[in-house]
Structure 1
Amino acid sequence: MSSLSLQWPSETLWSQIEPLWPGFSVEVQPELTSTNTVLMERAREGHLQPTLLVAERQTAGRGRLGRHWAPSTPGQALTFSMGVPLGSGDLSGLSLMVGCCVAASLDPQHRQELRIKWPNDLWYHQRKLVGILVEVCLVGQERYVVVGVGINIAAVGALPPPEPGRPAPQPPACVQEWEPDATAPGILARVAPALAQALAQFARAGFAPWQARFAARDALAGQAVWLSDGSVGTACGVSERGGLRVRIEQPGVAPAVREVLSDEISVRPLPPSGGRILSTDASA
């Protein structure tokens, strides 16, 4: 079995997080298919302990709507999943809370103006920096939630050429653009304890306490957006349960505000010309 390429703060993370989540464990692997996939498979087998699973390299990383990402070299991206039992509370808005938590860990003073693109991406200068994937496993009366996070640390190599007739994809953003000395282990040391604490708070109070924090980083607020069902409208924040509020205007019909849930539809901002923006997704 191959050895780890980087030095990870496993013991420190365990000591910080275990008091919040008794029985917590930290596991770092040199290579996995997908940290989310592994924790979900374990949960289905009845292993529901709170766990932080880190992979230096993922060979089959996954994102929302079944998207798959190309593997990165160790240190180029931080890919991890945190699995915790979250009881029976409402999970609406969980991915937005995770986005708020990660953004605050990377940019606590809002100096980099990191923005959260509903429902599960973090943007830096209109380019994807972080991908988030939340999955749930029900085992009898137990509910286990797996939160996967992929953060681009260093710049990727050359992007593949665009498909015929399609615009070239934007290169993803990376943390080293504003923090040249950033490393995957160093970023994990900042993000993981904050996420563990935020998940414990979410279990008690849901998304409502995070609504204002999301609004301060909302990438879509006031922007024209295109919904995958063909509707076009203007994004106007999120509800207390994390649904995107979109003001739909159609000729001859009174404007109406529609609440869009993340499991129903995908959303893309519209540039001024009305065309669709295509971007390259970060590892997740």
Structure 2
Amino acid sequence: MNDAPLIPPPPAPNPADRHSLWGIHALWEQLLPMLPELSIEVVDHIESTNQALMDRLRHAALKAQGRELRADDLAPSLLVAVQQTQGKGRLGRSWESAPGSSLTFSLSLPIHRADWSGLSLAVGVAAAEALDPNGHEIGLKWPNDLWRVDGPGRGRKLGGVLIEALQVGEQRFAVIGIGINLRPLHLPQNVQEAIASVSEFEPDLSAPQALARICPRLAQRLQDFERGGFAGIAAAYAQRDLLRGHAVTTTDAACPEGESLGVAEDGALLVRCNGEVQRIVSGEVSVRPLAAAPR
């Protein structure tokens, strides 16, 4: 009989710290000069990063009524979700998200500039520049979408931007949500929209790597926007404008169909309709490339 004492097995390793896996400390150090007092949080599951940050701001706004605000209530906050279960897009649409296949995050921060015209376009420019610095793969579709370019005036949705606003005390805050498809998504059969993913041109890019690329460029473009509005970013947008020079359809009753002439320096879409140039500015208007006639 072996009387040697039993040696217990080594303890199971602790789950890897998600912030280490995402390289959050290095990202925080890079962003801090541009976004002072920034906090960053990564969560495994959440209904909506935008909704969570909006709820926090609403709580801060209630505190502001009682003059209880602290400095960290007004600090920028970056919230990243490994999986977002009830993400929302423009016009109340849902945004599909799957672990490892998507990057979903939101950034809340005060924007002091009075005129926010073109802010969503500036954010789209930043994300496209970060993921496709050469400008060959990603186009921008007014006003909130990143598309994989399939040809002149043609493409498939790759990502989207959703911006919400809230007044907190004397500060006006933006909550900027970004969702990017990194891998192909398996959508329900009743969803007909053609979807693209970053893996089509960069198959090995992970969600942490995509975040590390996008956030510094986003912070830089937000600084540009604070200083000069969209006018200083308009030329960069024009280089990726998927609609410019092509026939489009819109839900604007005054201009149901026409030719996109590009985007003005205030972010308005210019469409030639019935011989006249119409400015489309409403966030409730949907614009899409006009489907080519079958040959």
TM-score between both structures, scaled by the size of structure 1: 0.87
Could you list the runs of 5+ residues in structure 2 that have no partner in the other structure? 1-14, 61-72
Deviation of 1:89 after TM superposition, in Å, equals 2.4
**Counterparts in 2 of 1:122-201, with a 5 A limit?**
122-124=146-148, 125=150, 126-157=155-186, 159-162=187-190, 169-201=192-224
Sequence identity, in percent? 46
Write the letter of the residue equivalent to 2:76: P
Deviation of 1:5 after TM superposition, in Å, equals 6.5
Deviation of 1:203 after TM superposition, in Å, equals 1.1
Deviation of 1:264 after TM superposition, in Å, equals 4.2
Deviation of 1:272 after TM superposition, in Å, equals 2.5
Write the letter of the residue equivalent to 2:145: D
In 2, Cα distance between equivalents of 1:185 and 1:68 = 23
Question: Contact 2:251–2:286 at 8 Å: present in 1 too?
Answer: yes
Q: Does 117-126 or 80-89 show the bigger shift? A: 80-89
In 2, Cα distance between equivalents of 1:171 and 1:235 = 21
Say what the alpha-carbon RMSD is for the aligned residues: 1.8
Which structure has the greater CA radius of gyration? 2
Deviation of 1:69 after TM superposition, in Å, equals 2.5
Deviation of 1:262 after TM superposition, in Å, equals 3.9
Match of 2:126 among 84, 95, 101: 101
Q: Does 43-52 or 233-242 show the bigger shift? A: 43-52
Write the letter of the residue equivalent to 2:266: R
Question: Contact 1:4–1:29 at 8 Å: present in 2 too?
Answer: no
Between structures 1 and 2, the one with greater helix share: 2
Q: SS in structure 1 opposite 2:195?
A: coil
TM-score between both structures, scaled by the size of structure 2: 0.84
In 2, Cα distance between equivalents of 1:173 and 1:212 = 25
1:131-185 deviation digits (Å, cap 9, x = unpaired): 110111112321011110000011112x3223xxxxx724411111111111000
**Counterparts in 2 of 1:1-284, with a 5 A limit?**
7-46=21-60, 47-70=73-96, 72-112=97-137, 114-124=138-148, 125=150, 126-157=155-186, 159-162=187-190, 169-230=192-253, 231-249=256-274, 255-273=275-293
Question: Contact 1:18–1:25 at 8 Å: present in 2 too?
Answer: no
Deviation of 1:201 after TM superposition, in Å, equals 1.8
In 1, Cα distance between equivalents of 2:222 and 2:243 = 24
Residues 64 and 3 (structure 1 numbering): CA distance in 2 closer, same or farther, change over 3 Å? farther
Question: Contact 2:91–2:284 at 8 Å: present in 1 too?
Answer: no
In 1, Cα distance between equivalents of 2:101 and 2:199 = 10
Residues 88 and 104 (structure 1 numbering): CA distance in 2 closer, same or farther, change over 3 Å? closer
Identify which of structures 1 and 2 has the higher relative contact order when contacts are C-alpha pairs closer than 8 Å and 6+ apart: 1
Q: Does 224-233 or 140-149 show the bigger shift? A: 224-233
In 2, Cα distance between equivalents of 1:263 and 1:96 = 12
Could you list the runs of 5+ residues in structure 1 that have no partner in the other structure? 163-167, 250-254, 275-284
In 2, Cα distance between equivalents of 1:43 and 1:3 = 30
Deviation of 1:268 after TM superposition, in Å, equals 1.6
